[in-house]
């Protein structure tokens, strides 16, 4: 079975991460990989900010980051989640998000709530997240993005 691997971004694979590209219409919906890598260095929101690539077989096809407060139970944020335009429409978004949720639970066993934000116009992402159990909190962040949360079992 071809499983999705999650690998931390480091000096050996950052160029693979940087090569991920979106359709022009999607570029304003999610931060770029380079912007996210800068945030990993600066850590603008929380104490920890970990960027990752998504891989299947020998191909890097996606990216996301996890921003969190270590040892908290409810301050874990998925951000920057994106699938390269060449790999979209193959079900990798759903498979990847499921794998990301498993990964967070494996790496951060104390985590009880995972949050994320969605641009108001990003209906595709909204449907994906709601399908996997994320709930609209009817609140916006400082950038006008809608906040979603998922309570883990």
- Per-residue H/E/C for 51-66: EEEEEECCEEEEEEEE
Domain ranges of the chain: 5-151
Q: Whose CA is closest to 77, among 121, 115, 31, 23?
A: 115
Kindly report the pTM of this predicted structure: 0.93
Residue numbers in the chain where pLDDT is lower than 70 = 1-2
pLDDT at 138: 96
CATH fold group of domain 5-151? Aminopeptidase (3.40.630)
pLDDT at 2: 58
pLDDT at 153: 76
CA distance 61 to 22: 11
φ, ψ for residue 81 (rounded to 5)?
A: -65, 125
Run of H or E residues at 139: strand 135-140
pLDDT at 23: 92
Run of H or E residues at 7: strand 4-8
């Amino acid at each position: 079975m071809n499983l999705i691997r999650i690998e931390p971004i480091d000096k050996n694979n950052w160029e693979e991460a940087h090569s991920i590209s979106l359709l022009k219409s999607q570029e304003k919906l999610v931060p770029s990989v380079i912007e996210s890598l800068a945030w990993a260095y600066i850590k603008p929101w929380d104490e920890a900010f970990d960027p990752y690539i998504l891989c299947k077989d020998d191909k890097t096809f996606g990216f996301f980051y996890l921003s969190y407060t270590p040892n908290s139970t409810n301050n874990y944020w998925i951000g920057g989640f994106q699938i390269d335009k060449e790999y979209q429409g193959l079900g990798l978004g759903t498979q990847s998000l499921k794998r990301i949720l498993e990964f967070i639970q494996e790496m951060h066993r104390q985590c009880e709530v995972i949050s994320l934000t969605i641009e108001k116009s990003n209906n595709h992402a909204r449907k994906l997240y709601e399908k996997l159990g994320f709930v609209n909190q009817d609140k916006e962040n400082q950038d006008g993005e809608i906040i979603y949360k998922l309570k883990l079992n």
